[in-house]
Amino acid sequence: MTDDREPRPPFCFDKNCQCIMNPQGLTKENVEKGFSGSCFGKMEKPVDWLFNKVNHINNYYFCMYSPFKGWIRFALDHHDLLALKMGLLTLLKIADEHPEIQVEIDKIYKMREQEPK
């Protein structure tokens, strides 16, 4: 599932993760120079745990590397991905001053409202 055009990030050690995207093409050399990066992956086997009587089943990883913080890994499900997308689209709308992005944000809100509670 890994795109052969993009290297697997050097900070990725999780054997349960299939690297889907390494957007910055982060390599060991770039890490040594002080660059940051991120990675998106799909779990081979979902991670399932119970917390406060709520079952959490995650299928994806979003990871970030920073020379200041090191490697940070987030386990995500479909709803988490939509929330991340909403947040990023909102920041892009503000940063790039592209009001048309609001259409995508509204679609996600509508989808969320239609999901069973």
Write the pLDDT tens digit of every residue in 5-20.
456 788 787 888 888 8
Same domain, 101 and 71: no
Neighbours of 61 (CB within 10 A): 22
Domain hosting 17: range is 1-76
Same domain, 44 and 54: yes
Same domain, 66 and 88: no
DSSP bridge partners of 55: 50
Same domain, 60 and 95: no
Phi, psi for 116 (deg, rounded to 5):
-65, 145
pLDDT band at 1 (very low <50, low <70, confident <90, very high): very low
Say how many domains are in the chain: 2
User: Which of 33, 43, 34 is closest to 12 using CA atoms?
Assistant: 43
> At 60, which amino acid appears?
Y
Same domain, 13 and 56: yes
Task: Tell me the residue length of the chain.
Answer: 117
pTM (2 d.p.): 0.74
Greater pLDDT, 12 or 1 = 12
